[in-house]
């Protein structure tokens, strides 16, 4: 790792969209697909001076001393992916994110917030899409080929990052051009508060909560006051927000003194209007029944009866609903 650059560099992160689906589709042939994918991207990146830092499963992490070279490399890689004859008719789409910054060199390699920014930019995209940060755009904008443009996608809140980033999409003839909205906290429906600091540590707890949330419809985090249950639940929510197409919604219950008001708060938070001659619970249930949604009930220790009744009613009839609750022991 001693050859890694320590000056301003452009980071490139990639991964295959829908890799789990491809693995299930191809079975033992997936290894050959992954080998072809790595070979194509490595050839494109190395030809333009890219330095491989890490091979992370179905993706790659590279650095470039030139932002222009990095952009040219990802365009070449996307063209190679589109032109390749993949096994068993598989459709392979790779998302790529670029960001330029100043890493810190250490004994374990490069570290720094700019690396995390690049990784999060990649994760916000879709297969076949090239996303570029404002820092990278500033370096390449005046030297773009006439046929290429960078479309301004606006500012986006990305998980783990305290400040939003302005993102751009590289529009290149011959490559895919139309994509759904980015998978960012600014686009997917939610009312998660902006975190003013990055979440550091507790990786094992985060992973365990995510694992449990995927296998149960109701999960409760308990602990002493001030133990960080709320912050952990919000971080996990940011980690899994792509899995809930209809959003993640936080009900802050600490200031609520009457369990009868919980349905009112839920209706108001979700933007559900009351209907004449119908109970709030019936209206709320009908609204949530078809939706893939995560509901966070925060600080529910003083309203256990009401929260339990609401969760029981909703979960019995809303198959795609998940509830994450926090309470003081």
76: exposed, middle or buried (Cβ count in 10 Å: 0-12, 13-18, 19+): middle
Tell me whether strands 218-223 and 321-328 are parallel, antiparallel or unpaired.
parallel
Element (H or E) spanning 327, and its range?
strand 321-328
DSSP for 295-308, please give it: EEEES-GGGHHHHH
Q: DSSP letter at 100?
A: E
Q: At which residue do the structure tokens 């980071």 appear?
A: 11
Q: What is the DSSP string of 209-226?
A: HHHHHHH-SEEEEEESTT
Place of tokens 């996303």: 131
Which residue's structure tokens are 């030809």?
47
pLDDT tens string 233-266: 988 888 887 788 898 999 999 999 999 999 999 9
In sequence order, the β-bridge partners of residue 220 are 325
- May I ask the CATH class of domain 9-171? alpha beta
**Of 165, 14, 34, residue with least CA distance to 75:** 14
Cα angle 230, 306, 266 (rounded to 5 degrees) comes to: 65
Angle at 185 between CA 282 and CA 94, to 5 degrees: 115
Tens digit of pLDDT at every position of the chain (329 positions): 445 554 789 999 999 998 888 888 888 889 999 999 999 999 999 999 999 998 888 999 999 999 999 999 999 999 999 999 998 888 999 999 999 998 877 666 777 889 989 999 999 999 999 999 999 999 999 889 888 999 999 988 887 676 889 999 999 999 998 998 888 877 778 888 876 566 666 788 888 999 999 899 999 999 888 888 998 998 888 888 778 889 899 999 999 999 999 999 999 999 999 998 899 999 999 999 999 999 999 999 999 999 999 999 999 999 999 999 999 98
Cα 190 to Cα 223: distance, rounded to the nearest angstrom: 25
Return the CATH superfamily for domain 203-328: P-loop containing nucleotide triphosphate hydrolases (3.40.50.300)
Q: Token match 């790792």: residue?
A: 1
Closest residue by Cα to residue 297 from 318, 319, 327: 327
Where along the chain do its domains lie? 9-171, 203-328
- Give the rounded distance of the alpha carbon of 9 from its chain centre: 23
């Amino acid at each position: 790792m001693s050859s890694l650059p320590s000056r301003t560099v452009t980071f490139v992160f990639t991964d295959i969209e829908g890799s789990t689906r491809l693995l299930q589709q191809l079975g033992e042939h997936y290894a050959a697909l992954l080998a072809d994918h790595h070979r194509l991207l490595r050839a494109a990146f190395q030809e333009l001076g890219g330095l491989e830092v890490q091979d992370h499963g179905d993706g790659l992490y590279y650095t470039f001393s030139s932002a222009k070279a990095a952009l040219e490399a990802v365009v070449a890689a996307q063209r190679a992916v589109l032109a390749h004859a993949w096994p068993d008719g598989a459709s392979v789409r790779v998302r790529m994110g670029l960001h330029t910054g100043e890493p810190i060199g250490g004994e374990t390699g490069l570290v720094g917030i700019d690396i995390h920014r690049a990784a999060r930019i990649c994760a916000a995209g879709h297969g076949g899409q090239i996303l570029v940060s404002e820092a990278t755009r500033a370096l390449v904008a005046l030297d773009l080929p006439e046929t290429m443009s960078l479309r301004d996608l606006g500012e986006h809140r990305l998980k783990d990052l305290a400040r939003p980033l302005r993102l751009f999409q590289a529009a290149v003839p011959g490559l895919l051009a139309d994509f759904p909205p980015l998978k960012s906290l600014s686009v997917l429906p939610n009312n998660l508060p902006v975190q003013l600091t990055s979440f550091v540590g507790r990786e094992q707890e985060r992973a365990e909560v995510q694992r449990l949330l995927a296998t149960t419809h109701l999960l409760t985090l308990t602990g002493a006051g001030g133990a960080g249950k709320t912050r952990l639940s919000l971080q996990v929510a940011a980690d899994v927000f792509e899995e809930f197409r209809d959003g993640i919604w936080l009900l802050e219950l600490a200031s609520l003194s009457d369990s009868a008001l919980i349905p009112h708060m839920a209706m108001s938070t979700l933007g559900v209007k009351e209907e004449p001659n119908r109970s709030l619970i019936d209206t709320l249930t009908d609204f949530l029944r078809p939706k893939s949604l995560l509901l966070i009930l925060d600080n529910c220790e003083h309203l256990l009866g009401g929260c339990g009744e609401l969760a029981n009613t909703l979960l019995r009839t809303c198959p795609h609903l998940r509830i994450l609750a926090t309470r003081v022991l």
